Amino acid sequence: MTNTIETYTNKLGRERKTIKSFKNADDMHKFLNKGDNALNWKESTLGLKRGVYAYAGGQWHNVKSLDSSVLAHI
């Protein structure tokens, strides 16, 4: 078990996935049990590190590793 969760957004055709990680499963479940978090987040099986990702070219790319001019178009 990886103790990571993800949420997905698609605004104006720009797909983004946010990955959040936790030290242990208890911390993850505490987060998911607060408010509407369980409705918006699900356990991640992608094996990605924590961060924000953009979908381009058939795969997810960390937005920190992309040039701002490239990121503006995806």
Note the pLDDT tens digit of each residue in 6-64. 999 998 878 899 999 999 999 999 999 999 999 999 999 989 999 999 988 888 999 99
Distance (Å, whole) CA 37 – CA 72? 28
Beta bridge partners of 61: 54
Supply 31's token pair: 């987060």
pTM (global) more than 0.85: no
Per-residue pLDDT, 70: 79
Quick check: 1 pLDDT over 60? Answer: no
